[in-house]
Chains A and B, each alone.
Chain A
Amino acid sequence: MCLAIPGQIVALEPETHLALVEVLGVRRRVNVDLVWDEGLREGDWVLIHVGFALSKVSEQEAAAQLRLLEALGEDEQAMEEVRGYLFDVAE
């Protein structure tokens, strides 16, 4: 439930407050309002939770978080959650 999923920002979309992120090969848009004032650039890493970027993290922290998800057997669950964000997908 309080799964924090690391994702790398691929593209920023300021007008929609979304960012295209890649998580374990899955690409989806997530809302970045909660980290907007920290200044975002493509290539930055963020922790994602229920469709929202919750915090900005270093690449090393993102790698540690990815490894942790694998160790906890939650990497599949994380990919399923990210794949499940359909609010950005056009009908």
Chain B
Amino acid sequence: MRYVDELRDPRLIRAVAAEIARLADPDRHYRIMEVCGGHTHAIYRHGLVELLPPNVELIHGPGCPVCVLPMGRIDDGLALAEQPNVIFTAFGDMMRVPGRRGTPLEYRARGADVRMVYSPLDALKLAQAHPEKHVVFFAIGFETTAPSTALTLQKAKALGIRNFSVFCNHVLIVPAIRAILDSPDMRLDGFIGPGHVSTVIGCRPYLFVARDYGKPLVVSGFEPLDILQSILMILRQLAEGRAEVENQYSRVVPWDGNRAALAAMAEVFELRPYFEWRGLGFISQSALKISEAYADWDAERQFDVPGVRVTDPKAAQCGEVLKGVLKPPQCKLFGRECTPEHPIGALMVSNEGACAAYYHYVHRLAAAGRDD
């Protein structure tokens, strides 16, 4: 690089870290939640925890779409995969997530036609290439991913492709943040707001966090300096008794989001009255289902889905870790029965899950002599 990009300049990173240490009131313990799994991953990978004073604690949030999906939804989706004429498609992240009777890969080993796709458009193309089959796309993800599913369904409808349907598990970030703010066992001082979700929804939807709950929220990029600057902005608000939504990632995130994406979502999806989140329980209006106008492409209407409800294995404390009440190593199964090789909880499967991130990088933390 001709010049040291200011986002990577170690001097700048040290300067911001020093400013954080200076600003953090020593006899106060700050609990700041990073909502998005991508931030969790970046924080551990860059070892940012080590740059923070001990009284500034980062709490991992629910922003990992694989982690929040209840096991019952996976079983329901895989019940479709077992239908003789169905090709079941999903993103790579889903392939190793365990349902009660195994992971999608294990279903494939038992003969189900389970295929990994990198885009919903690939699933649609499979449907065009196999008119004799019915292709189901197992859709997951927050508002970052929901527009892509919406546009794919618009295309299926426009082209009249009827052997294609979506099993919709898209979830919304704002109701999850509200549920966390409302849950009694959560004491948080501020939020690092999601980056890529916000390119779609903008920053306005988070205003309730500052207005109704009096907590700062800063939408952050993913570079080390972005995350540290966002933490500094939160601490500055707290020091000055302010509670506002700020956009640190303004070089990518427009304050009003992406109009075309929001329009597509509004046409293709409707709010579910409630949806179960792993670890957070039922949250009202927190997920999307396919709208009336696209009923012919809704797998839950085209097939009768069992609607299985499965409670997590008792010993696994995914819920508490997901809400940040527990740190990964405080779960009894962490690193013992539950490891990346044979994950029990979804937080260990997805690399955005707190447990997977902690497991991969925990040796660095342990080496630094701080078991945070």
Report chain B residues within 8 Å CB of A31.
Answer: 121, 148, 151
Report chain A residues within 8 Å CB of B8.
Answer: 67
Complex Cα distance A65/B37, Å? 17
Complex Cα distance A87/B160, Å? 17
Cβ of A34 and Cβ of B91 under 8 Å apart?
Answer: no
Report chain A residues within 8 Å CB of B147.
Answer: 34, 52, 54
A64's partner among B91, B141, B223, B261 (CB-CB below 8 A) is: B223
Q: Mark B1-21, 1 if CB is under 8 A from A, else 0.
A: 100010110000000000000
Given the contacts A1-B352, A64-B5, A50 and B145 also touching, CB distance less than 8 Å: yes
Given the contacts A52-B119, A87-B125, A37 and B260 also touching, CB distance less than 8 Å: yes
Cβ of B141 and Cβ of A54 under 8 Å apart?
Answer: no
Cβ of B91 and Cβ of A50 under 8 Å apart?
Answer: yes
Q: How large is the interface on A (under 10, 10 to 19, 20 to 34, 35 or more residues)?
A: 35 or more
Binds A, one of B38-46, B54-62, B106-114, B267-275: B38-46
Closest chain A residue, CB of each to CB of B125: A87
Given the contacts A2-B141, A50-B91, A34 and B261 also touching, CB distance less than 8 Å: yes
Report chain A residues within 8 Å CB of B264.
Answer: 33-34
Report chain B residues within 8 Å CB of A35.
Answer: 258, 260
Cβ of B148 and Cβ of A84 under 8 Å apart?
Answer: no
- Nearest CB on A from B153, distance (A): 13
Closest chain A residue, CB of each to CB of B67: A1
Closest chain B residue, CB of each to CB of A37: B260
Cβ of B119 and Cβ of A87 under 8 Å apart?
Answer: yes
B120 within 8 A of A: yes
Report chain A residues within 8 Å CB of B196.
Answer: 2, 4, 47, 49, 54
Report chain A residues within 8 Å CB of B65.
Answer: 1-2
Given the contacts A1-B141, A36-B260, A49-B145, A87 and B121 also touching, CB distance less than 8 Å: yes
Complex Cα distance A5/B42, Å? 15
Which A residues from 51 to 67 make CB contacts under 8 A with B? 51-52, 54-55, 57-58, 60-61, 63-65, 67
Cβ of A34 and Cβ of B121 under 8 Å apart?
Answer: no
Given the contacts A49-B145, A49-B148, A61 and B252 also touching, CB distance less than 8 Å: yes
Report chain B residues within 8 Å CB of A85.
Answer: 118-119, 121-122
B199 within 8 A of A: yes
Cβ of A34 and Cβ of B66 under 8 Å apart?
Answer: no
B124 within 8 A of A: yes
B191 within 8 A of A: no
Complex Cα distance A72/B350, Å? 14
Cβ of A86 and Cβ of B260 under 8 Å apart?
Answer: no
Report chain A residues within 8 Å CB of B176.
Answer: none
Cβ of A52 and Cβ of B148 under 8 Å apart?
Answer: yes
Cβ of A51 and Cβ of B64 under 8 Å apart?
Answer: no
Cβ of A72 and Cβ of B41 under 8 Å apart?
Answer: yes
Complex Cα distance A67/B142, Å? 24
Report chain B residues within 8 Å CB of A87.
Answer: 119, 121-122, 124-125
- Nearest CB on A from B130, distance (A): 12
B222 within 8 A of A: yes
Complex Cα distance A86/B117, Å? 9
A51's partner among B122, B142, B197, B258 (CB-CB below 8 A) is: B122
- Nearest CB on A from B164, distance (A): 12
Closest chain A residue, CB of each to CB of B360: A73
CB pairs A–B below 8 angstroms (14 shown): A2-B141, A2-B145, A2-B197, A2-B352, A34-B261, A50-B91, A50-B148, A51-B121, A52-B147, A55-B258, A64-B5, A80-B118, A84-B119, A87-B125
A residues with CB within 8 A of B = 1-4, 31, 33-37, 47, 49-52, 54-55, 57-58, 60-61, 63-65, 67-68, 71-73, 80-82, 84-87, 91
Q: A1-B91, A33-B264, A34-B258 are in contact. List 5 more A-B contacts (CB 8 A).
A: A33-B260, A50-B120, A67-B5, A81-B118, A86-B118
**A-B residue pairs, 9 tightest by C-beta:** A51-B119, A84-B118, A87-B121, A87-B125, A52-B148, A2-B144, A55-B199, A1-B93, A50-B119
